[in-house]
Copies of this chain bind each other. A is one copy, B any other.
Amino acid sequence: MARIRAVDRRLFLLIEIAARRLNREADKRLKADAGVSAAQAGVLFLLLRRGQRRMGSLSKTLSLNPPAVTGLVDRMVKAGLVTKTTDQTDGRGAMVALTAEGSEAAERADIVLRDLNAGLEARLGDEVSDILHDAFTRIVIAES
């Protein structure tokens, strides 16, 4: 408690530290139960919910720079989770789609995420969870 007093007036630092903790927790569980990292789970989740997507779309939705997406997707291709092909309608674009193996991993990851989410919201309480959700949605959406 006294340990974090030095940063407790800096929401920026606080969020950074909390996000690190949550990500570490999620990464561990996801690797154990679904065999994928937290970053990969984000991609799988998107592809599962919305179908195949182009690199640029992933970049925007996940708020990742293009080089980060390239590296992330390449590792997932190597792991057999997704395929990357040239977009038929635009030769510049690269389309990312789930493989059968990727779909299974995405389902497992979805369950883990749901569970983690329930735990987090239980810790925070429903009301706070709603406020948090709204606040972060606003931050994320806030014009890119």
Contacts and interface: CB of A to CB of B under 8 A. Distances in A.
Most buried by B among A17, A124, A128, A131: A17
B128 A4 contact: no
Given A121-B11, A132-B132, A63 B20 contact: yes
Contact of A18 (B10, B13, B60, B136): B136
Counting every copy of the chain, the complex holds 2
Mostly helix, strand, loop or mixed at chain A's interface?
A: helix
Interface in A1-31: 1-4, 6-23, 26
Interface residues of A, number: 59
A113 interface: yes
A10 B22 CA distance: 12
